[in-house]
């Protein structure tokens, strides 16, 4: 007796819609739903950090820019949907009144850049953050020391990314860090570059 070979049926694709740049509003509801489902699937791989409008979070724009804004496989309408889901707080409110269409995507981007992406304001905010170091209760508190170090590194890296020359900050930062630690222990002069 010959054995019947059991074969698995071929999986059917979840989405049959193909990418067609343009205005999704003029398409039938089924196609729009398929595109939305496809966007949800893509978004799980394109997930970027949410931007609330805080100037110290502006670097998340670079993630969005690489993953979505410069992505030629997405229409402007799709990019706008991704943009909306990447925003919260003041940033979300800034473009809340703009209708989600491909034609309005660049308007929303320019508005966000003008309001939150000004390099001079961003540099000033990171310098202010360096002056407001988190205090460390005692020099043996590992968590507090790590938090202080991370705070310094995060803001120095952000300043460097914004084009500020940070190589001369060592002496000033050592003085500020020693004040935040509040002990007689002194950080070595070259510890913070």
Residue ranges covered by each domain of the chain: 27-116, 119-181
| pLDDT value, residue 88 | 94
Long-range contacts of 116-119 (CB under 8 A, 24+ apart): 116/51, 116/53, 116/55, 116/58, 116/61, 116/90, 116/91, 117/58, 117/61, 119/162, 119/163
DSSP 8-state code for residue 6: P
Mean pLDDT by 10 residues, the chain (193 residues): 49 37 49 58 60 84 87 93 93 95 96 92 91 82 88 90 84 84 59 53
| pLDDT value, residue 20 | 43
- Specify the DSSP element, H or E, that contains 130: helix 119-131
| pLDDT value, residue 13 | 37
Q: How far apart are CA 109 and CA 8, in angstroms?
A: 47
């Amino acid at each position: 007796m010959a054995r019947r070979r059991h074969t698995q049926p071929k999986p059917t694709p979840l989405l049959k819609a193909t990418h067609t740049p343009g205005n999704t509003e003029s398409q039938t509801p089924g196609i729009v739903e398929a595109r939305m489902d496809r966007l949800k699937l893509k978004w799980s791989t394109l997930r970027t950090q949410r931007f609330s409008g805080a100037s110290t979070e502006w670097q998340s724009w670079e993630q969005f820019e690489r993953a979505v804004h410069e992505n030629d496989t997405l229409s402007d309408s799709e990019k706008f949907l991704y943009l909306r889901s990447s925003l919260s707080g003041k940033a979300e409110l800034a473009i809340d009144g703009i209708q989600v269409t491909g034609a309005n995507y660049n308007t929303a981007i320019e508005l966000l850049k003008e309001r939150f992406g000004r390099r001079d304001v961003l540099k000033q905010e990171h310098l202010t953050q360096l002056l407001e170091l988190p205090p460390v209760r005692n020099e043996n508190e590992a968590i507090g020391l790590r938090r202080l170090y991370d705070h310094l590194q995060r803001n120095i890296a952000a300043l460097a990314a914004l084009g500020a020359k940070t190589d001369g900050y060592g002496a000033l930062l050592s003085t500020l860090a020693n004040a935040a630690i509040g002990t007689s222990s002194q950080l070595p002069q070259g510890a913070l570059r």
